[in-house]
Chain A
Amino acid sequence: MTNTPDSPERTPLPAEAEPSVRVDADPSPQPGVVASEPTPSRDVPILDEGTFPRILEPRGEGRLPLGDGTWHQLARAYVRVQVISQGAFLLLVLAVAFALQFFLNLQWQWIPACVLAVITLVGLVITPRQARSFGYQLRRDDLVFRRGILWQRVVAVPYGRMQLVDITHGPLDRGFGIAQLKLVTAAASTGVTIPGLTQAAAEQLRDTLIAVAETRRTGL
């Protein structure tokens, strides 16, 4: 699904005025057509299957704006995976604490257990909202990534700067059919990790990114 920009009127910046090269400005996406020339486009419907419909933004007026273009989002299954794994961790912590209480008659373990439990609970509460704040945009020459509600972060990575694209998925991720895609440049601070893509989307995105990076290869 695509997100509607805040400002309905699109005023392209002067340098972007040519519509032929600006893929995101293309008003009619043609489903099922993966461009033969390696240009990233939003015409890849697989990227938007089973994802959230709309990016969640902070309420404050001074937030970082969404801007133009199509934002792709995380799969809904990502929240389920996170809730299950964090919930399981919470239960495990509590179970260990109770076990120590009953079998060894200890009390001190409640201090670290409560700290861990509170941290995990906070994580559980904010995860569904946080997951909806993730978004990435495939522009003509770079990938834009955004995340976070309380602490927002937006990064633009030129395709030519990519050193490698990494896909990882754990057992639980596989069960729900999601994967994490990590984009590595020579700078450690770039830090673009898209945690919950559907596996098909992750592979499609990886292939697209590699193909695009190949045509725009630059030095370090």
Chain B
Amino acid sequence: MSDGEWHRLHPLTPLLRGGLFLLVMIGILIANLRERLFELFFPMFTDLPPGVMPPDPVDFLFSHNLFLIAAGAVVVVLVILLGVFRLSWRFHTLRIGDDVEVRSGVLFRTHRRAPLDRVQGVNLTRPMVARLLGLAKLEVVGAGLDANVKLEYLSAKDADALRSDILRLASGRRLAEAGPGAVAGGSFVRATAEAVGSGIQGLVEGEDFSDAEPESIVRIPLGRLVASRVLSGSMLWLLGLVAAIVVAASISTVWLLFTVVPTFLAYGAYYVRSIARGLRYSIAPTPDGVRLTFGLFTTISEVVPPGRVHAIEVRQPLMWRPFGWWSISVNRLSGRSSTDSSTDQLAAVLPVGTRDDVERVLRILAPSLPSDGWSEVIRDGVLGPVADDPYVTTPRRARILRPLSWRRNGALLTSDALFLRRGWIWRSLSIFPLARLQSVGLHQGPLARSMRTARLGAHVISGTVQTTVGVLDRDAAVTLMEETARATVGAAAEDRTHRWAG
């Protein structure tokens, strides 16, 4: 499909996109017929005499012989809708050449073109229904708000091929040969039948993306996944909440106990969702970046090209410490607004992993950093201060401001990255590749001034990673900021990741 010509999306697209509309229609129908269905199945609960139906529009249609007209109207509406969707599908075309281009709209035409060297990632999403039909959504992530180019829907094979073509073009390499060919023409019915057949087959066989699936470098056993979710911080909140309600119930009225039920439901849903998301998790290096796959029902597979990760944070909740588990999250451009709930999901790169997992994932997330330095990063940064600690830490005179973590709280600048280490109870390490650092700043309030300390902040694109570390010695912090600023300029000038193959 990436031959520089205009192509259409998969012919089943109108069905899936119109699916929502159909669902709404069915919902309205059911809501209107609710009384009648209730009457039909549970006649003993109503106060009407047996055998008598409540007044209903359907009865009205039957009794006035308007049934044929009504059925005809429904058919006409359906045909018109199908025609409209079909028309909008015909006008929805895409072209992959030097840029990704999408044209859509019948009356109001839009034409979106995204330059390939600014591609931040390519996501392949397969919702449950689309998977049954053998389809997939492709999303080319751009830098900016609502800057993504969405291609929904493509057949899974096309989507996979298109993704590797887009990445190859974006990397600066040329395509070795033309793509496998256009979307299958054929009749609508045959396409449907074929797609459904292969989709069901794929679902049964557990087949996903066929060609050369790279081996995941991290395996998360189910037990660890469940245990890590149960032992997370939200569990503490839940226990606290339950305790508070029990105490309140024992003091006042027992009925308060029932308020626990919705809380449990909400938490249960949250746990099930986050565990289902972590199932089938895989992370693997490819020539075009890190490939991340997760999800049980809705499978999401993303590729993050090199140099698109702006900040990395390794974190350890308190209760994970006995097991030596860590999680990794990143800041990167997702092309979505920060309030979008899926942004958080995409930030978590490693839901839970051991120390070795952390090292392997860090290695592929920041390929520009020297590969021999990671064991020191783990030893000094992740696990905390050891003898001759290279980090600039909180001076002894200011330890009252960081009573527990003052030995650990610190920052380190290497030639490629800035490391901020924090926390004694909740340990975390933030890593900022200098080639992605936007600016660097110092803050100082009156209390910090009296202690002769300052807060160092690394400014990167917004996300979940903590970006500041407080209470550093003032002179050390000033030096660190000056050196970071200088190193950032150098690193940015040498950065070539926008065309990573060149």
Contacts and interface: CB of A to CB of B under 8 A. Distances in A.
B492 A187 contact: no
A160 interface: yes
A150 B444 CA distance: 8
A197 B438 CA distance: 24
A147 to B, nearest CB: 11
Interface string B435-459: 1101111111110111111100101
B412 to A, nearest CB: 18
B462 interface: yes
B438 A156 contact: no
Contact of B442 (A153, A158, A185, A216): A153
B448 A62 contact: yes
A62 B459 contact: no
Given A13-B482, A219-B307, A186 B492 contact: no
Interface of A: 13, 15, 58, 60-65, 67, 141-142, 144, 150-158, 160-161, 185-190, 192, 216, 218-220
B143 interface: yes
Interface of B: 118, 143, 307, 310, 333, 435-436, 438-446, 448-454, 457, 459-462, 467, 474, 478, 481-482, 484-486, 488-489, 492-493, 495, 497-498
B442 A64 contact: yes
A160 B446 contact: no
27 contacts: A13-B482, A60-B446, A61-B452, A64-B442, A64-B444, A144-B485, A151-B443, A151-B445, A152-B449, A153-B444, A154-B481, A155-B439, A156-B439, A157-B438, A158-B439, A158-B489, A161-B438, A186-B143, A186-B438, A186-B461, A187-B460, A187-B461, A190-B438, A190-B459, A219-B498, A220-B118, A220-B436
B492 A158 contact: yes
Majority SS of interface residues in chain A? loop
Nearest to A152: B444
| Most interface-central of A13, A154, A158 (chain B CB within 10 A) | A158
Contacts of B454: 64
A60 B449 contact: yes
A40 to B, nearest CB: 13
Contact of A156 (B440, B452, B474): B440
Contacts of B486: 15, 141
A170 to B, nearest CB: 26
B397 to A, nearest CB: 10
A156 B478 contact: no
A160 B489 contact: yes
B452 A190 contact: no
Nearest to B468: A189
Contacts of A150: 445-446
A86 B488 CA distance: 40
Contact of A161 (B442, B453, B467, B492): B492
A10 to B, nearest CB: 14
B428 to A, nearest CB: 18
A13 to B, nearest CB: 7
Contacts of B307: 219
B143 A142 contact: no
B146 to A, nearest CB: 16
Nearest to B485: A156
A218 B307 CA distance: 12
Contacts of A186: 143, 438, 461
B309 to A, nearest CB: 11
A37 to B, nearest CB: 17
A168 B385 CA distance: 48
A151 B485 CA distance: 21
A165 to B, nearest CB: 14
A153 B436 CA distance: 22
Contacts of B310: 220
B113 to A, nearest CB: 18
Given A151-B444, A158-B488, A160-B493, A189 B474 contact: no
Nearest to A13: B482
Nearest to B498: A219
Given A62-B449, A64-B454, A216 B459 contact: no
B445 A220 contact: no
Contact of B453 (A62, A185, A192): A62
Contacts of A157: 438-439
A130 B455 CA distance: 20
A67 B333 CA distance: 35
Given A141-B489, A158-B485, A185 B459 contact: yes
B450 A155 contact: no
Contacts of A152: 442-445, 449
Nearest to A159: B489
A189 B457 contact: yes
Contact of A58 (B435, B449, B459): B449
Nearest to A155: B441
Contacts of A67: 478, 482
Contact of A190 (B333, B439, B474): B439
Nearest to B491: A218
A189 B440 CA distance: 9
A144 to B, nearest CB: 8
Contacts of A220: 118, 143, 310, 333, 436, 461
B449 A154 contact: no
A218 B452 contact: no
| Most interface-central of A160, A187, A192 (chain B CB within 10 A) | A187
Contacts of A154: 441-442, 481
Contacts of B460: 187, 189
Nearest to A216: B493
Contacts of B453: 62
A188 B145 CA distance: 13
B497 A219 contact: yes
Given A15-B486, A155-B439, A186-B143, 11 more contacts: A62-B451, A64-B444, A142-B485, A152-B449, A156-B485, A160-B492, A161-B439, A185-B439, A185-B459, A189-B459, A218-B492
A192 B457 CA distance: 14
Nearest to A61: B452
| Most interface-central of B449, B454, B460 (chain A CB within 10 A) | B449
